[in-house]
A and B are shown apart, each in its own frame.
Chain A
Amino acid sequence: MGYLKYLAFRIVNAIIVLLIVTFIISALFVKVAEKNNMARMHDEMTQWERTTGQNILKTRGQEAYEKAKAAHEEFLKRKYELNLPYWHKVYNKAIRTLKLDFGSTITPLFGTNNISKIITVALPRSILLFTTATIIVIIIGIFLGVRAARHAGSLFDRSLSVFALLTYSLPMWWTGMMFLLIFAYKFDLFPLSSMFDPQLTGWAHVKDVIWKLTLPVFTYVFVVFGGWAWTTRNIMISTLQEDFIMAARAKGLPERKIIYGHALRAAAPPIVTMVIFALLGSLGGAIISELVFNYPGMGRLYWVALQQNETNLLIGLTYFFTVLYLASVVLADMIYGFLDPRVKVGASTKM
């Protein structure tokens, strides 16, 4: 029962965060939109005065004109929501955001103006890139980390540590730019732009996608796996000094079983949490890397939204990103709770 309760608690937590983020986003958005809408209303008003207004003034006289003008102004105010108080608008926007209604962009992207549709095209691509890279990082990182812990102090361990320190301070997107310069420009091994070819279908399309994913995935793995391996190594070293490992050794268990069966099992919960948070931290870098590679995912959309001042799109992206992020957090908590039998709401928060 403890596990379910724990899980429910984490999910509620995630939902609260989502609500707060939505609220912040909406408050920011309304602040910007108010200015834009004011300007737009003003434009439309002068437009109206020049055409319909002039007409009314000529045919029906001053009084009717004033009346019509007031009515039209009222109509425009309602259209641009300028008649509502600030917090009311924030509330409205938050509700709309939660319903995934982000409005539309000014210029069409991927052949549509609807923001939800644009993001649903881009999101799977980002997830594809991120999950592929993450799985590779998990395998390499744990394998190397365990190896380094077993031979602590060896040349391999030292070089792994140095490599981890070096990559820890590298911006992922810059590494991507460098890899582009080296592998795509200089040696011409990979494409300079990872934009998919829209003409291809079926097997050719899959091949195209894999071909264009290679360099971004490689960049991600290169920057992230060192830190992961290093974390694993540190936790494993502590675990390998525990008494139960000595007991297992004394029993004469094979080394392989001791490492992967006993030590890694015991070290798993902290590894999982640390690593998931490290991964989530690198999510931002991954998003920016997309734009370096011209990979048509969420990151490039961010760039487009910033360049073309598409506030609506920016809101939508941030919201989706938050959902994705929180889903990963909940997933991490689930795995943690699954691995660590001590997990109960009270106990887990005190750790």
Chain B
Amino acid sequence: MRWVDIKESFRDFLEEFKREKTGILGVILLIILVLIALTAPYTTIPNLPEKWRSSRYWEDNPKNVPPTWYNMLTSQKLVPQQVYYVNDLKITHISDTKTIIEANYIFPEGYILGPKGIMVRGFNVTTNAPFQVPVMNIYLLRPDGKRIPLLNNKQLNTGTVISIGRDSATLANVYIWLVNVTEGRELTMFEVPLDIILIKDIFATMFAKVEPGMNVDQIIESPEPLHGQYKLVMEINNPAPDQNQVVYDDLKVTFLGRSYGTMGTDYLGRDLWAGIIWGSRISLTIGILVSIISTLIGLVYGVTSAYLGGNVDELMMRINEIFASIPSLPILILIGATLGHVTLWVIVLLLVIFGWMGIARIARSMSLQIKEQTYIEAAKALGAGNSRIIFKHVLPQLLPYAFAVMALSVPGAVIAEASLSFLGIGDPTAVTWGQILNAAQEQAATTKGYWWWVLPPGLAIAIVGLTFVLIGTALDKILNPRLRRL
């Protein structure tokens, strides 16, 4: 077969492929997927795999909340995340020693609960006089004019993080305020029932109707939302402004949403959308690499076996059969578990070892037919060597089939990788769809109804699989005309 022939037959093939609508759809999907995978650092968070496992990085995100667009489908709307940087805050320096920072938060009509918490971080404090550390008071002003004191005389240092809603001290203050408003009693810190603080969502009452005479337990159990404008006020007192300085440039105030981003968050507050986008890289790389390598190996193996024939053929087919009848998944699990740390390359290698047998068989039976053709005989008569005949005359004939097999073996490789990750065997430095689902399984996401955590990764796996199935079946249809629709 000459190069010109290959080019010509390829052109014919392309013409025919263009007529297969499903194949074209597959190619379009593939291009989109590759683009998504390549642009992941720019469209989402750069260097996500390094951040994925550090729970500190995700501290400012709410945990286990659905995506924001879900609000369009339900009547019980959930507030989205709202972040304030230094430019969004109102900072007034009243005197040298006193600064007031205000964050305006609007709790719009139609939402059922207020934010899930408030995080304040990013103070930069230079302390030269350690006995006169700056202190801060925080309170929340509500639309009904009530004022909730949250923290008093909190010492400020560089790296101070204030998490209202997670920190029990602030929640206790909220409870004291609740009792004070409804019953008029003044509780001390020690009278606050700790179990209620820790289990119930006290934070939600800050954004709920609270009037004298109402029952505290009832408010906690079913808070009635109070919509309108809220103001979080931080009063910072710096008794020694000459020695100690507070810089607010990095200040970040977050009102944690009850919904988040495009795909919600998981149990650590991780942005699932970023995880899904980054996961496409691993999935595509592994799927494509495994299918290409195993197809090539299988092709060469099958052709060699058929060409050499006789006892060598018999032996090679026995080896093939033995590999084919090893149950791959349990062995993979076992190898993965005993190796400890499994890198992506090891997974590729393992999947290739258990993935080349099918194509080897097909290649062998096809080249047995080709072997009988007269032009092979002619080549032999001309004195062509074994490798020349195999690579020059037999393999090119099989290439189109090889592409079909390649495409059709991608879904299997993708699912196998995801299955291993799902069982907890995988590269711990990568973000993969299987690992996201593994975390979902460990945290019993299905029994808690966290659909945004379970649905997208599997759907992504299915889309990658479908892409290659579409391409593969289109190729198959062209190459096996008998299967075409009649």
Q: Which residues of A contact B (CB under 8 A)?
A: 13-14, 16-17, 20-21, 24-25, 28-29, 31-32, 152-153, 157-158, 165-166, 168-171, 173-175, 177-178, 180-181, 184-186, 192-193, 234, 237-238, 241, 280-281, 283-285, 287-288, 291-292, 302-303, 306-307, 311, 314-315, 317-318, 321-322, 325-326, 329, 349-351
The residues in B between 445 and 486 inclusive whose CB is less than 8 angstroms from any CB of A are 446-449, 451, 454-455, 457-458, 461-466, 468-470, 473, 482-483, 485-486
Contact B322–A17 (Cβ < 8 Å): yes
Complex-state Cα separation, A350 to B449, whole angstroms:
53
- B4-12, B119-127, B295-303, B331-339 - interface stretch: B331-339
Main secondary structure of the interface of B (DSSP, over half): helix
Q: In whole angstroms, what is the CA distance A13 to B485 when docked?
A: 39
Is B483's CB under 8 angstroms from A237's CB?
A: yes
User: A346 CA to B415 CA in the complex, in Å?
Assistant: 36
CB distance B486 to A168 under 8 Å? no
Of residues 409 to 427 in B, which have CB atoms within 8 Å of A's CB atoms? 411-412, 414-416, 418-419, 422-425
The contact of A165 among B321, B329, B458, B466, by CB within 8 Å, is B466
Give the tally of cross-chain contacts (CB within 8 A).
156
Hey, which chain A residues are within 8 Å of B455, CB to CB?
Answer: 178, 181
Residues A169 and B415 in contact, CB atoms below 8 Å apart: yes
Binary contact readout B319-349 vs A (1 if CB under 8 angstroms, 0 otherwise) = 0011001111111011101100000000000
Q: A177-B440, A178-B454, A287-B329 known; A169 and B483 CB under 8 Å?
A: no
Report chain A residues within 8 Å CB of B132.
none
Nearest-neighbour CB distance to chain B for A307, whole angstroms, equals 8
Tell me whether A325 and B454 are in contact in the complex, defined as CB-CB below 8 angstroms, given that A165-B466, A169-B415 are known contacts. no
Query: From residue A320, how far is it (CB to closest CB) to chain B in Å?
Result: 9
List 4 A-B pairs, minimum CB-CB distance, nearest first. Answer: A169-B465, A284-B329, A174-B458, A325-B327
Q: A132 CB to closest chain B CB, in angstroms?
A: 21
User: B317 an interface residue at 8 Å Cβ cutoff?
Assistant: yes
| Residue B441 is within 8 A (CB to CB) of chain A in the complex | yes
Q: Note all chain A residues with C-beta closer than 8 A to B322.
A: 13, 16-17, 20
Q: List 28 A-B contacts (CB under 8 A).
A: A14-B325, A16-B322, A20-B326, A24-B331, A29-B338, A32-B338, A157-B485, A169-B462, A169-B466, A170-B462, A171-B461, A171-B462, A173-B422, A178-B458, A181-B446, A181-B451, A186-B449, A237-B486, A283-B327, A285-B415, A287-B330, A291-B441, A303-B423, A306-B423, A317-B330, A321-B330, A350-B368, A351-B365
> Which residues in B have their C-beta under 8 angstroms from that of A303?
423
Contacts of A158 in B (CB 8 A): 485
Does B437 count as interface, using CB distance less than 8 angstroms? yes
Whether B419 contacts A288 by the Cβ 8 Å rule is yes
Q: What's the Cα separation between A347 and B470 when bound, in Å? A: 35
User: What residues of chain B lie closer than 8 Å to A14, measured between beta carbons?
Assistant: 325
Contact across chains for A321 and B458 when beta carbons are under 8 A apart = no
Q: Given A165-B473, A168-B465, A175-B458: A311 and B337 within 8 A (CB)?
A: yes
Closest to A33 in B: B338
State whether A168 and B337 are in contact (beta carbons under 8 Å apart), knowing that A180-B447, A185-B449, A280-B327 are contacts in the complex: no
Taking the closest CB of chain A, its distance from the CB of B433, in whole angstroms, is 9
**Nearest-neighbor residue (CB-CB) of B448 within chain A:** A185
B25 to chain A, nearest CB (A): 11
Residues of the A chain whose Cβ atoms lie less than 8 Å from the Cβ of B458: 170-171, 174-175, 177-178
Number of interface residues of B (CB under 8 A): 56
Main secondary structure of the interface of A (DSSP, over half): helix
CB neighbours of A24 from chain B (8 A): 331
Take A153-B485, A181-B454 as given contacts and tell me if A28 and B470 are in contact as well, using a CB distance cutoff of 8 Å: no
Besides A185-B446, A318-B334, A321-B330, 20 more A-B contacts (Cβ < 8 Å) are: A13-B318, A13-B321, A14-B325, A17-B326, A25-B331, A28-B335, A29-B338, A169-B465, A170-B465, A171-B461, A171-B462, A181-B449, A284-B416, A288-B423, A302-B330, A314-B333, A318-B331, A322-B326, A325-B327, A326-B325
Q: Cβ of B469 and Cβ of A169 under 8 Å apart? A: yes
Q: Which residue of A lies closest to B314 (CB)?
A: A349
Neighbour of B326 across the interface among A21, A288, A291, CB < 8 A: A21
Contacts of B326 in A (CB 8 A): 17, 20-21, 322
How far apart are A165's CB and chain B's nearest CB, in angstroms?
5
Q: Residue of A at shortest CB range from B333?
A: A302
Please name all residues of chain A whose beta carbon is closer than 8 Å to the beta carbon of B418 when the two chains form the complex.
171, 174
Chain B residues contacting A287 (CB-CB under 8 Å) are 329-330
Q: Which residues of B contact A165 (CB under 8 A)?
A: 466, 469-470, 473
Is the pair B446, A315 in contact by a Cβ cutoff of 8 Å? no
Q: Which A residue sits closest to B419, measured CB to CB? A: A288
Instruction: Say which residue of A28, A157, A329 sits within 8 Å of B338 (CB atoms).
Output: A28
Q: Please name all residues of chain A whose beta carbon is closer than 8 Å to the beta carbon of B411 when the two chains form the complex.
A: 168-169
- Measured CA separation A20–B457 after assembly (Å): 36
Set of chain A residues within 8 Å of B468, measured between Cβ atoms: 169
B437: chain A residues at CB < 8 Å are 174, 177
Residues of B within 8 A of A281 (CB): 412
Q: Which of B334, B422, B425 is in CB contact (< 8 Å) with A28?
A: B334
Inter-chain contact B333/A306, CB cutoff 8 Å: yes
Q: Are A302 and B423 in contact (CB under 8 A)?
A: yes
Check A318/B330 contact, CB under 8 A, given A32-B338, A284-B419, A285-B419.
yes
* Contact residue among A166, A170, A171, A193 (Cβ-Cβ distance under 8 Å from B419): A171
C-alpha spacing A40/B451, complex, angstroms: 44
CA distance A234 to B483 in the complex (A): 6
Point out the residues of chain A lying under 8 angstroms from B365, CB to CB.
351
Q: Which residue of A lies closest to B444 (CB)?
A: A192
Q: Which residues of A contact B447 (CB under 8 A)?
A: 180, 184-185, 192-193
Q: Give every chain B residue within 8 A of A157 (Cβ-Cβ).
A: 485
User: By the criterion CB–CB under 8 Å, are B327 and A321 in contact?
Assistant: yes
CA distance A158 to B418 in the complex (A): 29
